[in-house]
Structure 1
Amino acid sequence: MSENEVVICPWCHMEITWDPEFGPEEECPHCFNELKAYRSLPLGGAIEHETDFDDEDDEEPETAEELAQVGVLEEDIDDDSTDDYEADLEEIKAKDVYHEGVMQVLDTQLEVPECFRCQELMLLAGTQTVDSSKFVPEIPVSLGQPFLPHGFKLQLYVCPSCFSTESMLSPDDRDSMIKVIKGNQ
C-alpha cells in the first residue's frame, strides 16, 4: 500500500489517513472496527470459510472408547460453566429485585436528595428527634437566641448504592429556623 493510496473504512465509510512511518491502520480510528477482518458475502456465489483444521479433524468421537481416548467421558464433563452462569443469573435477578424495591420506596417519598458521593437518589430511613440533653445550641450574637428549637427533628437518608447516610432538618424545623432568622432582621 503506497502513501498516496486512499483507504476508506468499509464499516463507516470514512477516509483513513495513516502515518507512513507506522504503516496502515489495523482498525478504523473513527469506528474502531477491524479493517483487515471485513467480510462480505458474494452475490450468487458459494461462501467459503477459512479454517485452520483438516476435514478429517471435524469427526467427533462417537463410542465410549473414542471418548476415553480423547479424555472426554460424560462423567468427566465439568458443569462449572453452567453453575457460574446460573450463579451470575441469580445475582442479576437479585439486583433487579433490589432495584425495583428501591424504586418503589423512592416513589413514596416527598423529597429525594442525591447522594453526595455517588449521585444516586437516597432513601428516607426515618426521623430522629434531637432533644436538649443531646444538643447544646449555639446562640449567634446577631440573633440573641438559638435558631433551632429544642427537640428538633432530623430526617436520615441512606444511599441504596454506596450506603452513605445524610441527615437533613425536617420540613417543620426548617420553617421555624427560617422564621427565627427572618424575624430578627
Structure 2
Amino acid sequence: MAAIVCPWCQSELIQEEGQEPDEFCPVCDNELKGYRTLQFGLGAEAEEEEDEEDEDDVASESETDDLAWGQDGDLREKNEALLRYEETVEALLDEQDLVPECPQCREYMLEAGRQTVSAEAFSPRKAELLGGEAVLQAPFEMHVYVCPSCFAMTHTLSDADRGRVAQKLSREARDD
C-alpha cells in the first residue's frame, strides 16, 4: 500500500497495490497531478504539437461513445466551477483592507467576519509581570479569516483592542 498526500487539503490518501492513482482528491475534489503547474509550448514545435493533438482529437471524438462525452463535460464543468471560484476569491480579496497569509499554505486569506468574545467565554491568563493583571480583558473583538485553499482559520484582534493591549503593555513597562 502506498500513501499520497493531497497538496491542497493535506489529506493522506491510501492507494492499494495494482490500483491506479486517483486524478482527483476524494476529500476536497481538487486535481492531484497538476498542482500549481503550467505547461507552455514554445515556437514552431508547439504549433506542430497542437496540430497533431487537434487531429488526434478529431479522430478520437468520432470513435468515442456518448459516455466519453459526458465525462469530458464533467471535467469542463469542474474547470469552469474552479475558474468561477478563483475569480470570486480574487474579487473578495480586492475588497479587503487587510489580507493576511495563511499560516498553513501561504495563500491569501478571506475575511469571514467578526467575533465578539464575552467575559463568560474567555478566561484570561494573569501575568505576574503585569502585577497579576491579564494581557487581554474580555469583551474584545476579533476578525476571523478563512483560507480559500486549505480552509484553515485564523483570528486577529480588532484595531481598537490591539491599541488597548499595546497601551497596557507600554504602561506596565514604564512603571518598572
Calculate the TM-score normalised by the size of structure 2. 0.59
2: CA distance between counterparts of 1:77 and 1:131? 63
Alignment partner, residue 142 of structure 1: 129
Query: 8 Å contact 1:149–1:173 — kept in the other structure?
Result: no
Counterpart position of 2:75: 88
Corresponding position: 1:168 with 2:156: yes
Q: Which residue of the partner structure matches residue 13 of structure 2?
A: none
Aligned partners of 1:77, 1:105: CA distance in 2, in Å?
Answer: 41
CA shift in 2, pair 1:142/1:77, >3 Å: closer
CA contact (8 A) 1:149 1:176 kept: no
Residue 104 of structure 1: aligned partner: 91
Alignment deviations for residues 68-93 of structure 1 (CA, whole Å, 9 cap, x no partner): xxxxxx9x961222222111111111
Structure 1 pair 174–115 and aligned structure 2 pair: CA distance change class (3 A): same
Amino acid at match of 1:184: E
1:169 Cα offset (Å): 1.3
Say whether residues 1:124 and 2:93 are aligned partners: no
In structure 1, C-alpha distance between the alignment counterparts of 2:102 and 2:64, rounded to whole Å: 48
Consecutive unaligned residues of structure 1, counting only runs of 5 or more, are: 1-73
Secondary structure at the aligned position of 2:154 is classed as strand
For this pair of structures, how many residues does the alignment match? 111
User: For 1:1-185, what aligned pairs fall within 5 Å after superposition?
Assistant: 78-144=65-131, 145-185=133-173
Q: Which amino acid aligns with 2:121?
A: K
- Of Structure 1 and Structure 2, which has the larger fraction of its residues in strand? 2
On the 8 A contact 1:128/1:155 being kept in 2, the answer is yes
Measured at CA, do residues 93 and 132 of structure 1 come closer, stay the same or move farther in structure 2, by a change above 3 Å?
same
Unaligned runs of 5+ in 2: 1-61
SS at match of 1:162: coil
Cα shift readout 1:162-185 (whole Å, capped 9, x = no counterpart): 111111111211111011000111
Q: 1:134 to 1:77 in 2, by over 3 A?
A: closer
TM-score (norm 1): 0.56
**Greater relative contact order: 1 or 2 (C-alpha under 8 angstroms, separation 6 or more)?**
2
| Mean CA deviation greater in 148-157 or 93-102 | 148-157
Pair 122,77 (structure 1): closer, same or farther in 2 beyond 3 Å = closer
Structure 1 runs of 4+ aligned residues shifted over 6 Å read: none
CA-atom RMSD, angstroms?
A: 1.7
Structure 1 or 2, whichever has the larger Rg, is 1
